[in-house]
Structure 1
Amino acid sequence: MNKHKQRLKRLPPEYYRGLAWVHWTMTIEDRRTGWLDGRFLYKFREILTHAAFCDALACPIFCLMPDHIHLLCCGLTDKTDQRHAIQRLRKDTNECLKRIGFLFQRQAYDHVLKDHELERDAIESMVEYIARNPERKELVPVDAFATYAFTGCLIPGYPQMKLFQADSWDRIWRTIAFLKRTECFRLPDPKYQKP
């Protein structure tokens, strides 16, 4: 049998562009473990921050598991191309992984959210589903998913943004709306411009 499986089928490119929401899963080759630690978390946040600013996307949740990574990303401009952003992210992250003897599998898995999944409640439920991965793998006790050290939120320009606080979702939604209005700080905010 061929060592490499066939490539995953992708939707047409336009599904990943603009204001799309996509759940990405990137698995370590052969599902190996041993690469995940605090240093890698901070390097990954740095790489994700660059991708978010360069490609105008927000990541309301990322969850680094011992053998894979989950990201839920949304585009912030009509010009956002998540396939390009994830390609950059994977390339830069793979360079870090290579130094310690690991690599991602050949291709990331993606799920482009459909219309019925784009409601606020549906997105918040998906974030909770991703956040509960460590709980399902018994890395944290039941209902202690918020304490998992390798789960976070990355919204460009807002490093203090945190999940699992009383006002988290209101702040995240307001911030994403602002970033969409300003095309990720590329335009003045039309909401506050004088006529």
Structure 2
Amino acid sequence: MIREKKHRLDREQYIGEKIVSFTLCVKERKKLFVDDIVFKTFKDILLKEAEKFNISLLLFLFMPDHCHLLVKGNNQNSDVKNCIDRFKQKSGFWLAQNKPDFKWQKDYYDHILRDNEDLKNHLLYILNNPIRERLVDSWKDYIYKGSSCFDVDKWEEFIY
């Protein structure tokens, strides 16, 4: 039996007032997030899980075939990885019930920001994703984004 190489940090690395960037992909890079109902459903699941785990969603942005989540634990007991795992599980269940041709890719990518390391660069990278994909000319025009704690459309002064 071949075991997969461990690529995730120890669980305790994700607990506390950490800022973590996650990228979750749709299996086979199918275009799932191209409809308002799917976006709203996934946003609602994400907001509920973030509240349960005391997590701030600094920024979430759903591209057609993947999503970016920049999250922050709000206290020493916040578990950002568990929050994202639960979001992925619950949204995956919704997919099985409502859009069985779509599934999440098995794993996801993450990056723990250290001491607010390059928060501005992470925000810009995520916000500019729809521009790089030629979906919009300005990130402000992209509708499948949000935050649980900020008005994203007012970030222009902050990030430029």
Give the TM-score, by structure 2 length.
0.88
2:112 partner letter:
V
Cα displacement string for residues 52-78 of structure 1 (whole angstroms, at most 9, x for unaligned residues): 110000111111011101000000011
| Aligned residues of 2:33 and 2:62 also touching (Cα < 8 A) | no
Deviates more, 1:94-103 or 1:53-62: 94-103
Q: Which runs of 5+ in 2 are unaligned?
A: none
- Cα distance between partner residues in 2 of 1:132 and 1:163: 13
Note the 1:55-74 alignment, pairs <5 A: 55-74=53-72
Q: Which runs of 5+ in 1 are unaligned?
A: 156-160, 170-195
| Aligned residues of 2:23 and 2:109 also touching (Cα < 8 A) | yes
Alpha-carbon deviation of 1:126?
A: 1.2
1 or 2 for the larger relative contact order (CA 8 Å, sep ≥6)? 2
* Match in the other structure for 2:91: 93
Cα displacement string for residues 112-171 of structure 1 (whole angstroms, at most 9, x for unaligned residues): 1123xx15xx21231121010000011112xx111101111123xxxxx421216986xx
* Match in the other structure for 2:107: 107
- Please say if 1:139 is aligned against 2:128: no
* Local SS of the residue matching 2:28: helix
* Local SS of the residue matching 1:154: coil
Change in Cα spacing, 1:73 to 1:34, as seen in structure 2 (3 Å) is closer
| Aligned residues of 1:8 and 1:109 also touching (Cα < 8 A) | no
- Cα distance between partner residues in 1 of 2:6 and 2:64: 23
Question: Aligned pair count?
Answer: 155
- Please say if 1:165 is aligned against 2:159: no
Q: Pick from 38, 45, 48: which aligns with 1:47?
A: 45
- Greater fraction strand: 2
CA RMSD of aligned residues (A): 2.1
2:29 partner letter:
R
Alpha-carbon deviation of 1:7?
A: 6.1
* Match in the other structure for 2:145: 151
Alpha-carbon deviation of 1:88?
A: 0.6
- Cα distance between partner residues in 2 of 1:168 and 1:68: 27
1:130 partner letter:
I
Note the 1:73-92 alignment, pairs <5 A: 73-92=71-90
- Cα distance between partner residues in 2 of 1:34 and 1:46: 16
Change in Cα spacing, 1:82 to 1:136, as seen in structure 2 (3 Å) is same
1:151 partner letter:
K
Alpha-carbon deviation of 1:34?
A: 4.1
* Match in the other structure for 2:16: 18
| Aligned residues of 1:27 and 1:68 also touching (Cα < 8 A) | yes
Give the TM-score, by structure 1 length.
0.73
Q: Pick from 21, 31, 38: which aligns with 2:36?
A: 38
1:59 partner letter:
L
